[in-house]
Structure 1
Amino acid sequence: MKKNVVFFEVQGGSDKGPDGYRRDTLPMVNALKERGWDAEVIFFELEKKDEIYNHVKENACSYVSRINPGNLKSESDYFAMLRQLCEDGIIGMPHPDAMIGYGAKDALAKLTDLSLVPTDTYAYYTMETFKETFPKSLVLNERVLKQNRGSTGEGIWRVQLIDELPEGTVEVPLTAKIKCTEAKDNHVETWELGTFIDFCEQYIVGENGMLIDMAFLPRIKEGEIRLFMLHNKPINVVHKKPADSEDAFSATLFSGAQYRYDSPEEWKDLVESFLAQLPDITSRLGNYDLPLIWTADFILDYDKNGNDTYILGEMNCSCVGFTSQLELANNVADEIIEIVEAKVGAQLI
């Protein structure tokens, strides 16, 4: 059995240290080497795609992707190479289609039959559907629109009606005034609904464009709860409390949110409920193996009996970092070895 793991990176980007690598990549490489395995970092370049593909196919047993797709010249070419490597028997961490399935915002719309996601959660892939449905969903309650691209809250908008609608209204008029707060920095803008809908076209057009439409959950003010997962194991919980101001709802550091790190045992109900539903999540997102390093973000809500419940707001698996806890590199190395040995063993049976 080959014992060489390739870590894919890409040149440039704000996630790199002074040496040009992600700060959490070399600790994983070194941890594998300490365990008697080989590991190397390859910087993906579109012009060298075939050369890289052949090298990994011939020399590696597995790859770990540490690339933010937004830093790539061509995301589709990178994913196509990873897909071919997986078909050739290289163990993908994650498989590119798992990366898409768990990382894309429309994963939420695929999970509405689970208790994790409200049933009035919609995915828009065309402007026609957005224009038809969003004015009707906005009648129900305040909404949050989330673009599929971007990061740190960019293109995530809380949308509120400014004036009350007449009783019995089933669709918000396009001339209605709305208050829009962007999660990037909690700044507020006032729009007419129709103009705002046109503005949002930028989020829907283009490769992997889409918008997710969810009900706004007021208990976000109590904090967003991020479950940090290593494959199928919860490692820690990050409690992210938005800044204490009237319009703040963003849980990003950039917007002034305060972070606290807890053990999974301190969030026992959330962890147990989420782990119990992992098989259902996996089946609805393509039946791919769980990503190696990934996160799931939750917001508190009340169920119909007034008890606490947790609503899934987002998952991420493309390049989740752990630079503030580099000692986790040892856990990651152990998990990689366990996954590879289990996969190889299953193939030999």
Structure 2
Amino acid sequence: MQAVGSRAGSPHPEAPGLQVLLLKTGPRPSRSTTLPTPTLALLYPGDRAMRERGDPSESRFAALFDAFAVAGLRAVPAVYHDDFADEVEAQLGGVAVVLVWCNPIEGGRRRDRLDAMLRRLAGQGVVVSAHPDAILKLGTKDVLFDTRDLPFGSDVHRVDSLAQLQAELPGRLRRGARVFKQHRGQSGAGVWRVEAGDASAPQLLRVRHAQRGSEEERLDFAALAHRLAPYFDAANGGHMIDQAWQPRLVDGMVRAYLVEDRVAGFGVQAVNALFPAAPGQPAPPPGPRLYHGPELAAFQGLRRLLETGWIEMLRARVELPRDRLPLLWDCDFLFGEPAADGTECFVLCEINASSVAPFPPSAMVPLVAAAASRVPEG
């Protein structure tokens, strides 16, 4: 798939809406200007030195800090690490809204302590986005199982033990390849494609981890079980999600970026982590994600589906009130088999709610507006 747009990882150019704000309000205030008491905090991981510097310009959210300043809201960094969690909690007790960017596993640590802190703050009246409970409903692979019968769902099963895996895998592999996904993770960690072996060695499964740099291996079931065993530990969720392989992965993946219940932009990636290798060649590395605004013509059908039904279906299925939707989240879709009339179909691959960054510049203004709407007046 060919796409034109901003490359993932590049600095955010100012969104058009932000440029309009700048024209109306004048130049953005310098960071030395006296500003009101902080009303918002942006929490992201870092070390003690980063926290002591407290410099928004050295973070990947520099443009977002500026956008809040343009809107008349003071946002401050809340650099987080478990080692000084109490200090961060004391800081956040004095703000109205905290926007959180922290992966499920950050620097080898799970975010259990952070989530407990965020729940306490929310209980004290601080608006937390994304709230840990919302992440558990939307941002784990369980959402694929919970929504398997909805229009964007697919052939998905929950596997609760290695014994269940051994009993059920052969029958499913006869229908095609499967993708096993750990309960929570990021960047392809804990996502495995499994395919039946060929006629010359049927006992050896073709297995590939989605983590960057992984190559296909030939493993018997015992070796596969050894690889997957850690994901069945209670600390790692105690189960895996088994989703049918989508053959049209070769056509690319589209990520819909959402601010609450509205599409704020798209990310298009032609080559992703499990893109198949050409015969005799290593698998190609994942390519860049190209950013577009919500008006991207190729995906107006997907936008309409999300805004006029799918998000509501999703909320209802996972029992998440609208006001608990993350202020910024995203849904990854693969292409399914087109309908009989040629209409494009989309299959949900995962939802990200823990640490959505980078994101399209077009999401900046709606995100600022959504956060500002949560700040109490006066």
Query: Does TM, normalized by the shorter one, top 0.5?
Result: yes
In structure 1, what residue type is equivalent to 2:251?
E
Show the 5 A alignment for 1:1-349: 4-12=39-47, 23-57=59-93, 59-71=94-106, 73-118=109-154, 120-163=155-198, 176-184=203-211, 185=213, 187-209=215-237, 210-242=239-271, 246-247=276-277, 255-265=285-295, 266=297, 267-275=299-307, 276-288=309-321, 289-302=324-337, 305=340, 307=342, 308-322=344-358, 325=360, 328-338=363-373, 340-341=374-375, 344=376
State the Cα distance separating 1:190 from its structure 2 match.
0.7
1:169 equivalent in structure 2: none
State the Cα distance separating 1:197 from its structure 2 match.
2.3
Q: Which runs of 5+ in 1 are unaligned?
A: 165-174, 249-253
Separation of aligned partners in 2, 1:137 and 1:6: 47
Instruction: Please say if residues 98 and 286 of structure 1, whose CA atoms lie closer than 8 Å, have aligned partners that are also in contact.
Output: no
Over residues 63-119 of structure 1, what are the superposed CA-to-partner deviations in whole Å (9 max), with x where a residue is unaligned?
A: 11022232264511110111111122111111111123222111111111211111x
User: Normalising to structure 1: TM-score of the pair?
Assistant: 0.80
Residue range with higher mean Cα deviation, 77-86 or 26-35: 26-35
Instruction: Please say if residues 255 and 268 of structure 2, whose CA atoms lie closer than 8 Å, have aligned partners that are also in contact.
Output: yes
Instruction: Please say if residues 24 and 326 of structure 1, whose CA atoms lie closer than 8 Å, have aligned partners that are also in contact.
Output: no
In the superposition, relative to structure 1, how do residues 327 and 287 fare at CA in structure 2: closer, same or farther (>3 Å)?
Answer: closer
In structure 2, what residue type is equivalent to 1:43?
V
In structure 1, what residue type is equivalent to 2:303?
V
State the Cα distance separating 1:32 from its structure 2 match.
1.8
Separation of aligned partners in 2, 1:149 and 1:274: 24
Instruction: Please say if residues 147 and 153 of structure 2, whose CA atoms lie closer than 8 Å, have aligned partners that are also in contact.
Output: yes
Instruction: Please say if residues 56 and 76 of structure 2, whose CA atoms lie closer than 8 Å, have aligned partners that are also in contact.
Output: no
In structure 2, what residue type is equivalent to 1:181?
R
In the superposition, relative to structure 1, how do residues 62 and 260 fare at CA in structure 2: closer, same or farther (>3 Å)?
Answer: closer
Separation of aligned partners in 2, 1:115 and 1:230: 21
State the Cα distance separating 1:269 from its structure 2 match.
1.2
Instruction: Please say if residues 4 and 62 of structure 1, whose CA atoms lie closer than 8 Å, have aligned partners that are also in contact.
Output: yes
Residue range with higher mean Cα deviation, 81-90 or 43-52: 43-52
In structure 2, what residue type is equivalent to 1:207?
A
Partner of 1:212: helix, strand, or coil? strand
Instruction: Please say if residues 147 and 156 of structure 1, whose CA atoms lie closer than 8 Å, have aligned partners that are also in contact.
Output: yes
Structure number with higher relative contact order (C-alpha < 8 Å, ≥ 6 residues apart): 2
Over residues 239-264 of structure 1, what are the superposed CA-to-partner deviations in whole Å (9 max), with x where a residue is unaligned?
A: 2112798537xxxxx82435443443
Q: How much identity, in percent, do the aligned residues show? A: 21
State the Cα distance separating 1:328 from its structure 2 match.
4.6
In the superposition, relative to structure 1, how do residues 263 and 11 fare at CA in structure 2: closer, same or farther (>3 Å)?
Answer: closer
Partner of 2:187: helix, strand, or coil? coil
In structure 2, what residue type is equivalent to 1:230?
V
Instruction: Please say if residues 11 and 20 of structure 1, whose CA atoms lie closer than 8 Å, have aligned partners that are also in contact.
Output: no
In structure 1, what residue type is equivalent to 2:306?
F
User: Normalising to structure 2: TM-score of the pair?
Assistant: 0.75
In the superposition, relative to structure 1, how do residues 139 and 215 fare at CA in structure 2: closer, same or farther (>3 Å)?
Answer: same
Separation of aligned partners in 1, 2:58 and 2:158: 33
Separation of aligned partners in 1, 2:191 and 2:242: 10
In structure 1, what residue type is equivalent to 2:223?
T
Separation of aligned partners in 2, 1:328 and 1:132: 45
Residue range with higher mean Cα deviation, 238-247 or 83-92: 238-247
Separation of aligned partners in 2, 1:44 and 1:151: 19
In the superposition, relative to structure 1, how do residues 190 and 42 fare at CA in structure 2: closer, same or farther (>3 Å)?
Answer: same
Partner of 1:42: helix, strand, or coil? strand
Separation of aligned partners in 2, 1:260 and 1:334: 24
Partner of 1:255: helix, strand, or coil? coil
Matched residues, number: 321
CA RMSD of the aligned region, Å?
Answer: 3.2
Separation of aligned partners in 2, 1:22 and 1:178: 46
Separation of aligned partners in 1, 2:224 and 2:153: 25
1:172 equivalent in structure 2: none
